[in-house]
Copies of this chain bind each other. A is one copy, B any other.
Amino acid sequence: MPSPIDFYFDFSSPYGYLGAQKVEALAAKHGRTVAWHPILLGAIFKITGGRPLPELPMKGEYAKRDFARSAAFLGIPFKYPTIFPISSVAPSRACYWAMGKDAKKGAELVKALYKAYFVEDRNISDAATVIEIAAGLGFKADEVGAALNDPAVKEKTKAEVDAAIARGVFGSPYIMIDGEPFWGVDRFEQMERWLSTGGW
């Protein structure tokens, strides 16, 4: 049984959103599954000195254009959110809790939250919005609300981010396949080759 594709992403990352629309089909084609790892780029940027793309001089203007063009190129719906970037803490905690209860429905929550933010322009940093979206998938609203403030869920999220950093994750999406790292939705062709050949 081949190991799953580890997909690290930040809920505030446009390229993470685009990658999330593609990774399951790639995995299925090669007999793999996807392990979803929400991360908090804010914590990682404290180490790397990184900053959200749109805030960077010169690169910021380009990035906004490239988000939309890359989405169009890949045929994926995309709307630049009114509020950007946002804190990814609430959606990340909700997903770690949900995946712990039910991996399949947890993966659905990942995609529903991303769609809410990057297609429907809903502010998923807001706990009430996260709860509403999770409830739409059948999770109990009061349980989701409790999970967002549960010390064990907070600790799980922090531990996952720390583990990602220890593994070298510095951006979104960041994909590990059999220990080989790939950064960016523009590395899917190289991932495809790796999955087909097991090497470069």
> Contact residues of A with B, CB < 8 Å?
44, 47-50, 56-59, 61-62, 65-66, 68-70, 72-73, 165, 168-171, 181, 183-184, 186-187, 189-190, 193, 200
Contact = CB atoms under 8 A, between A and B. Distances in A.
Contact of A186 (B65, B165, B169, B184): B184
A65 B66 CA distance: 24
Contacts of A186: 184, 186-187
Given A57-B48, A72-B200, A62 B183 contact: yes
Contact of A56 (B48, B72, B189): B48
A38 B91 CA distance: 44
A178 to B, nearest CB: 14
So how many copies of this chain end up in the complex?
A: 2
Given A62-B181, A186-B186, A200 B170 contact: no
A31 B75 CA distance: 27
18 contacts: A44-B58, A47-B58, A48-B56, A48-B58, A48-B59, A49-B56, A50-B59, A57-B170, A58-B165, A58-B169, A58-B170, A59-B170, A59-B171, A69-B190, A72-B200, A73-B193, A186-B186, A186-B187
A86 to B, nearest CB: 23
Given A72-B200, A73-B189, A186-B187, 18 more contacts: A47-B57, A48-B58, A48-B59, A49-B56, A58-B169, A58-B170, A59-B170, A59-B171, A61-B168, A62-B168, A62-B170, A62-B181, A65-B181, A66-B187, A73-B193, A73-B200, A184-B186, A186-B186
A186 to B, nearest CB: 4
Contacts of A170: 57-59, 62
A164 to B, nearest CB: 11
